[in-house]
Each structure stands twice: as C-alpha cells, then as structure tokens.
Amino acid sequence: MKYAVLDFETTGSHSTDEIIQVGLAIIEEGGHISRVFGSYVNPGIPIPPFITGLTGITEQDVKDAPMLEEMMMQLVPLLDDVILVGHNVTFDFNFLQNALDRCGYLPFSGRILDTIHFLKICFPSLHTYQLGMVSAEFGLQHDRPHQADSDALATAHILLKCFEELEKLPLLTIQRLADLFVDEDSDMGWFFDGLREERERHPVDEESELGYTFYRQLALAVEDWTDIPPVRDEEEGNPLKNVGFPEFMEQVQRNLQQTLSHYESREAQEMMFNKVMEALDERKHLLIEAGTGTGKSLGYLLPSIYQSVKQEEKVIVSTHTINLQEQLRERDVPLLNQVVPFPFKAAVFKGRQHYLCLRKFEHKINRKDFASPKEDVIIAAQMLVWLTQTQTGDDEELNLGGRNGEFWDSVSSDSDSCLGRACPWFKKCYYHRARHEAGLADVVITNHSKLFTDVKANHQLLPPYENLVIDEAHQLEEVAGKHLGLNVKYFSVVHTLMRLYKDSKNGQLPALRQLLQLSGHEKSGDWTAVVDRLIPDLISVKEHWDRLSEQLFQLIPERGDALPGDAGQYTLRLSKSKLPKAWTELQQIEHQIYLTLGELSRQGDVLIQELREDLDDYSADSLVTDLNGLFKDLAAHREELRFFMSLTHEETVYWMEANSSYRSKSLQLYAVLIDVSQQLKALFFDKKQSVILTSATLSVDKSFQYMIDNLGLQEASEQSRLDTVQLPSPFQYREQALLIVPRDFPSVKGTVGDPKFVSSLVQSLADAAVATQGRMMVLFTSYKMLRQVYEPLKELLQSRDIHVLGQGMDGVSRSKLIRRFQDSGPSVLLGTSSFWEGVDIPGEALTCLAIVRLPFQPPSHPLVEAKSELLQQQKKNPFMKLSVPQAVIRFKQGFGRLVRTANDRGIVIVYDTRIIESYYGKYFLYSLPGPKMEHMRSDQMVSRIEEWLQPDS
C-alpha cells in the first residue's frame, strides 16, 4: 500500500477558490517517506491579505510560479494507485477534484483517509488535534506551518506515528475496532478490516498482550479494584508515631531541596504550613489569604498529609475548578510522593458523571446504538483505545471535541442506573474504583460541586471526614447557592425524554420492545402493550415542555451587554407578588406535564418491577436498569418543575436565563437561596472539627468581615473558633508592578461607551500596546463595550503588526484564545467576565493589564437584586456591604493576572477614575498587594510606561 499525503494552501475555503501552493509526501509500503513534492501555484488573482498573514505566502512568491495546469501535470502521475491522506482531508480532496476537473483529468476514485480520525482514535487524550500543536507534542520538525510541503510532511509523520500506535494495541482491540466500522461502507472500515486480517495471520505475541486485562471482549489497562492493597502495612505501625510536625517538615524540606534545584523556603509558605497545622491541631476554622507565588497547594497539602496519617483521620481537599484538581493530581501529588518520607495516598474523587460506565459502554457498542453514526463510531473507536490506557475512566482524559457531550452522557456512570454488586463489571468499575481509592486514601481531592452533591445525598458519596480544606474559597458561596437550590435546563428534560424514546427505532423503550418480541416470554405481549401506552405520553410531555419553554422564553427581555450565546443574555426575575400576565396559563401547561409524568413514572415503576422479577436475561437486566434510572430522572424533573413554577419560598430567588442564539432551547430555570450563610454554618462550620478556607482573594481592605458574614462564620469568630491570616506576598510588588490611573480620562455610565469615551479608550490602548509591544490583556465588564473597541483597535494596530484577539469575536474557546495570545507574537487580548480569573500567563507574554471599568456586578441581576433587598430589610447598605466587596474581590482577581512569577514585571492601567475620585475607591487600592501607584494625565502615560519597562528603571 502506498499513501500520498496531500496539502493545499488556497485563497479561501470554498473549493472554487484558487490553489496557491501544493505539498505531497509519498509513504511507501514499508512505512518510509520516499518523496516530498512541493510547488507554488500562480492563482491568477490577488492573494487576500489574511491568507498572506496566515501562510506567509506573498504575491512575490507566486508571481513566476507555474499555473494550475502546469502544476497538475507534475502532480497527477504521483497520485496513481495511492491511498489519499490529508489532515481534515475533505478540504484538500474537494480542491483536488475541482482542479482535476478544470484541467481535463478524470476524478480521483481511490481510497481516502483522514489523519484527524486516526489521531482521535490512536491518541484519545491529546488536548488538541491541530496540526502545528500535534507536531510540537510529538517533537516533529514542522518549521513552516501553513506552508503546503511542510504541512504534508508533518502530516505524513503523524500518520506513521498513528500506525506505530496501532501496532502496540492488543489484537482484541483491533478486532473490536474493525467490528465497529464494519457496517460503515467507508475507507476507515476497509483499513481496519485489512489491519485485523493482517494481525490475525500472525500468531499473537504473548509479550505484547501483557499489561492488559481481557474481560467480556474488551481490553482494559486496569485489574480489579478489589485487589488494590492498603497504602501502608498496618503491622509496621504509624510512621509518625513519635514525630512532631517541625521534624516532619524539616525532613520534607530537605528532600524538596534535593528534588527541586530551585526550591527555597518562603516566609509566606512557612507561615501557611504552621497556620494550617495549628488550625487542624486545635480544631479551629481558618480563613487564609495566600496570593500568587505563595505555594498555596503545598501550604495546605503537607499539613493535611501529616494530620491524616498521624491522627488516622481523613482530610478532604475541595477545589472550585477541575483545572486545579488536575494540577494537584498531575503536579503536586507526584512531587509529594517523592519527598514525603513514608508512603501516603492522595486520591482524586469527582462527581459520578465524570466516570465511564463499562456496562453502558459495552451495551452501546454491542448494539451500535448510535444517535449520529458517523461521529459516534469515531468516538466509540477512540474510547476502545482509551480503555487500553486509562487507569481512571475519567472523562477529563478524553478529547471528545465540543459537541460530543451527548455520547458521553449516554455512557457515563450514574447512581440511578447502577447495578452495584450485581453488575458483571463491578470489580472493574471506574467509579467504584475511585470510591474505593478515596476510602483507602489519607487525603481525598474533590471539588465544590461534589462536596454539595454529597451533602444532598446524606453524606453517602464521600468517605466520612472531620477536616476540610477549601481552595478557591471565594467561589464557595456561589456554588453553594446553585447546588442547594435548583437549576433546570431545557435540554436536561429533553435528553431524558429522548433517551427513553427518540423515534420508533431509537431509545430505550423501542429497544425494550424489540427485546420483548424476541424473548418469547408468556407476558411479553402484556409488557409490549404497556410500552406502547407509555410512548404517546412521552411525546405529549415533550410537546408540552416545548410549548412551556417557548412561552417562558417570550417573557424574558434581552440584556444587551452579554456575550452572544452567553447564558444570562436574557434574564428575568420572577416573584409571587409580581407575576407575569400569562402565568396562570403557564401553570396549567406545567400541571398537565406534572400529571402525565406522574402517570408515566407510576406505570414505568410497575413495569420495571415485573421485568425484574420475571424476565431472566442479562441483556434485559442492563436495559431495565437504564430504564429505571430514566424513570427516576423523569420523577425528579416533575418535582423540580413544580417547585419552580409555584414560586412559594420567601427565602429563595427565582429567575430564568436564556441566550439569543438558541432561544427557548437555551432556557434555564433557577431557584437559589438568597443567603446561604446559615446552611454553610449548619453543614460545615458547626459539624466539622476544622475547615480551612483559602484563596488569593478573601479580604477586602485588609478585613475578612465580608467572607465571615457571607459564609456563616460569625458565630465561630465570636467563640474564638476562627483564625484569619493574610500572608505577606512573596513578590516585590513595588518593584514588579506599576498601577497607573489616567486622572483626566472621560467617565462612562452604563454598559455602553459614548463615542468620546470609546475613541479615547481605543487611542490610549493602541498607544499603550505599541509601548509594551503587544503583550497586553484588556479586561471589560461588558461585552458590548468590548465589541465597540475591537474593530477600531484592530485597525489602529494592524500597521504595527500587533494582533488583536477578542473573546467571542471569532468563535474560539477561551483556552484557545489564551494559547493563541501566548503563541502569536505581539498581541492584545480583549476579554470579559471569565477572563478576570483563572487565566495564567506567566513571563513575557503579558506585560500590561488594562482594566476598563471597576468590576461591579450588574445591580439588575436577580440574585444581586434579591441580596440587596435582604440587606435593606436588615437596615444595612447594600452598596457597601455587597456591591463594593464583590467588586473588590473580582478586581483583585483581575490584578492577579499580571504578576505570576518572581521575575514578572508589568503595568496595570485602570481607566475607571472612580478609583481615585470616589469615597469607595480606596477599598480597591488598599486591597491590592502593594504595587507602586501613580495617577497622571493621559498624555503622560506612554512615556511613563516606556520608562518603567527599561531594565534599569
């Protein structure tokens, strides 16, 4: 077999556009690259500037190049009897067919393969499948991305890498892959069928099959979790029996110095070790603010390990983001395993939906139960290979691409459809493995969502614990509100309905109907009749739910300053005292849904009970369990909808959100407690021995009172059960950061800038960007204003070769935007809400941070509005007690994006003059970690920036 890897550079993305360069790499039978052909092509039309920007190909390059016909005379003979390959091959294939047709050749009729498909299948955990990134990941030379010959050669090497990976897979996985594609009349099917035949012809090398567990026709990387031994040998006694914390830390720090050449003891981190240990030891709660660079994770992990091993009582660590959870798993825990002088275990335990259910996956691929076959077959293939690699079955390891959440939902673990010990997969189950490991562990790392799910499940999910560390604690109140409240999405109801019945062939009820007809059981006729009665009811619920969602959506006014596609672009608060006119009619639709779902759940439960007792068949067990879970979900949706539509709870705020792109299909219904402090107090601070809350932003103007009030810590504070600590910063902020306020800058009201404000801002940002050579991030509080600035700023900076990247401007995800900002030379990145925190751009890439407005929450947001009303009732000032502290914490988060390491140096420009003119501005300035602060006229800023950035300034 001979492969021809083809790549075109073109003047646009339609197959009628012109080719400007071709690259072709030939891979011979033995897997070596025998030839690389490359040529510019004269397109006969001007090359658009953005194509030159992307590829580097100029008018000059193609001026004397061959025309299309001449180039094709060289290319066509090379395509004789080859398998055509491309990275996203459809693009190149369409251009090829068009060129062949235009030049009078027959169309290409050989086989076609796509390296993106191969990469997904062979490397299911790669975080990107973009050619340049993959080449870098594999250490391949790819000097000229977006030049056809370089791209073709890189793609050829990637294909060979995929073939190597397929070689290593056990025969069983190859057979399962071939079986997956067998009904697909595709070239992928032909390829895997050939690979299977070839592998079956050669006897299996037992060596190569070592390290896999073969079970029920799947090859896995894991053994039974019941075989996992305890961390330490009990007979050897407690390794910390006569060891005090100072001795333990001394040994750990010696080991850290030997392991990390750059490790040095830091005052702030030392304080954190001791304060966290003291809180655990004295059974107190602790609020500890630890800025960037403190080494916060080790600051709480080491005392937690000491406490849990010494006292034999588990410590739970909870993070807000999965990102931080992964960082602890990938970076911090492996380091601690090297330096802690005895074996310990830190286990990561996430929400159940993050783990693959092997029973559901087996069922799905055996029945080829695919909603969209072409995409789903690739995902199933990806997961078959992943099973030979994963120890955890955690979806974070898988790159399924943005739109494939539906596939994962249908194979992820959930409590309602779990067979427990009766499941043939029980000892291999990833969720039960994670749970078992959490049971064995000294420290369990989870997230805030799981913490509250555990509370709602009467503490049945996490192992019992008395000590809790909450990282990213400034997010705790918001997560608590969402989890202790209610959030119903349009699609969560639709998914349940569709998984029960999509059409006569798809869904669990049609599958059950088919199984009953084949079973020959004496009661199968009666049971089929019940299924046939359930289906019209499901269709009726779906129709009513669509109607209700549409009419609820119609009530919501648009909020003009949100990102397009952002939830919350449309928001409406609801209350018993101010009901919309049509509410009674809407309640009648909900009542109809309530009645029908009640009947559906009742009939479904009876049917499930009978099937469990009388139908003895494993494949039916699996189906019946999934059906049982779906009926339970329906019953839950029924109660949630009733709770929302009745609007009866005084202490709850009810609201709806949606966005303009998906309209009623994006509808979300919220019912959230206005004040969660009493719940947090009852659930955690009254019950647990010690709760340690940490974050880079917990204090406002050097005081923790805002957090104490909002998290329910007032009583603990009065009883001296709470310590508060603000750690000194490890950075020299006066030398590293300069904060500038242009005091004569025009002010702005609302979320839209007037022409004077916008033109002043654009000009000032452009001047600052030139002075800092790009490397600048601009934070907005309103998407509308970002949009006002994006185009004119882009235009001004184009001639200076500085790129402008805007959140939401070209449909690129947040993480891709950040990566692009870091990789693409001089750039300015414009971001709104989600860019204020969690963005880590250390070093040279970020030198200047511009904050356009102080980040006050819109006072019209239902939750902010309800909290303000509650404070007014308590005779407190909502602006000073809520709006200012919230904005200060957000402002500190934004400021924290600038200095990420001890060597970073940069400038923060605050364009909002309220920071120096208003009575509350001082709270913002005094809350910062001590940068140099100056205010000046706008026209003095650039020279001051240039002066500050001089190395010897």
pLDDT in tens, 898-933: 887 778 888 999 999 999 999 999 999 999 988 999
Mean pLDDT over residues 219-241, rounded?
A: 88
Mean pLDDT over residues 273-296, rounded?
A: 93
Q: In what order do the strands lie in the sheet with 906-910?
A: 803-806, 827-831, 776-779, 848-851, 906-910, 737-742, 932-936
pLDDT digits (tens, 9 = 90+) for 93-108: 999 999 999 999 999 9
pTM of the model: 0.86
pLDDT score recorded for residue 404: 64
Contact criterion met (CB below 8 Å) for 903 and 951: no
Which tokens belong to 917?
């003119």
Tokens 């169309």 correspond to: 107
Q: For residue 236, what pLDDT band results from cuts at 50, 70 and 90? A: confident
Tokens 């974070």 correspond to: 396
Report which residue type is found at 57: I
Mean of the per-residue pLDDT values for the chain?
89
Residue 562, pLDDT above cutoff 70: no
Contact criterion met (CB below 8 Å) for 861 and 698: no
Mean pLDDT over residues 128-147, rounded?
A: 80
How many angstroms separate the CA atoms of 713 and 705, rounded? Answer: 9
Contact criterion met (CB below 8 Å) for 147 and 168: no
Which helix (H) or strand (E) element contains residue 717?
helix 714-718
pLDDT digits (tens, 9 = 90+) for 286-338: 999 998 888 899 999 999 999 999 999 999 999 998 778 888 988 999 999 99
Within 8 A by CB and 6+ apart from 542, the residues are: 494, 497
pLDDT score recorded for residue 402: 61
Q: For residue 374, what pLDDT band results from cuts at 50, 70 and 90? A: confident
Contact criterion met (CB below 8 Å) for 448 and 320: yes
pLDDT digits (tens, 9 = 90+) for 815-874: 778 877 877 778 899 998 778 877 777 667 788 999 999 999 888 889 999 999 999 999
pLDDT score recorded for residue 784: 84
pLDDT digits (tens, 9 = 90+) for 473-530: 999 999 999 899 999 999 999 989 998 998 887 888 998 898 888 887 888 899 999 9
Contact criterion met (CB below 8 Å) for 710 and 477: yes
Q: In what order do the strands lie in the sheet with 722-726?
A: 346-348, 443-447, 315-319, 467-470, 690-695, 285-289, 722-726
Three-state DSSP class for residue 861: coil
DSSP string, 802-840: -EEEETTTSS--HHHHHHHHHHSSSEEEEE-GGGSSS--
Within 8 A by CB and 6+ apart from 675, the residues are: 651, 867, 870
pLDDT score recorded for residue 951: 67
